[in-house]
Amino acid sequence: MKSFSKNDLYLIIAFLAVFALITVFLQLTGKEGTQVQVSVDAKVIATYPLSEDISVVIDGFGGGTNRLEIKGGSAYLTDTSCPDHLCEKMGKINSVGQSIICLPNRVVVEITGDCSSEYDAVVGG
């Protein structure tokens, strides 16, 4: 087995440093969301405040179901009917732009916020 050279070690350290900086930047600049938007088959079916603890069953595509839990300012999926349960493993979300997706049931849970005073882009003509 070939051992790492000094340059390989420097490259690995550089990648880890860049990854750490990006992670810290995203954590510090992430804006906390105010609501949870639920879509099924690309159609928004409900919006819930992130500030209230609730549990609701989402009827997904083709008869599938997902349970949405909102607790302590975070949203997550539990008790899903999909075969792989990957959406349950995606964890809790609470920042604007974060989402949980259940492909078999075509369910998307996304954190949104009040963006009325902010601009994502400016388009000129």
Q: 59-109 pLDDT, tens per residue?
A: 999 999 999 999 999 999 999 999 999 999 999 999 888 999 999 999 999
DSSP the chain: -PPPPHHHHHHHHHHHHHHHHHHHHHHHHPPBPSEEEEEETTEEEEEEETTS-EEEEEE-GGG-EEEEEEETTEEEEES--SSS-HHHHT--B-BTT-EEEETTTTEEEEEE---TT--S-----
Same domain? 40 vs 26? no
Number of structural domains, the chain? Answer: 2
Identify the bridge partners of residue 70 per DSSP, sorted by sequence position: 54, 75
- Residue-level pLDDT at 3: 78
- Local confidence band at 118 (pLDDT 50, 70, 90 cut-offs): very low
In tens, the pLDDT along 11-65 reads 999 999 998 888 787 677 767 789 999 999 999 999 999 999 999 999 999 999 9
Do 85 and 105 belong together in one domain? yes
Q: Is residue 117 in a domain?
A: no
Q: Do residues 46 and 72 share a domain?
A: yes
Which pTM was predicted? 0.69
Domain membership of residue 13 as a residue range: 1-30
Q: Decide if 1 is inside a domain.
A: yes
Q: How far apart are CA 81 and CA 98, in angstroms?
A: 22
User: Distance between CA 81 and CA 106 in Å, rounded?
Assistant: 12
Q: Are residues 96 and 62 in the same domain?
A: yes
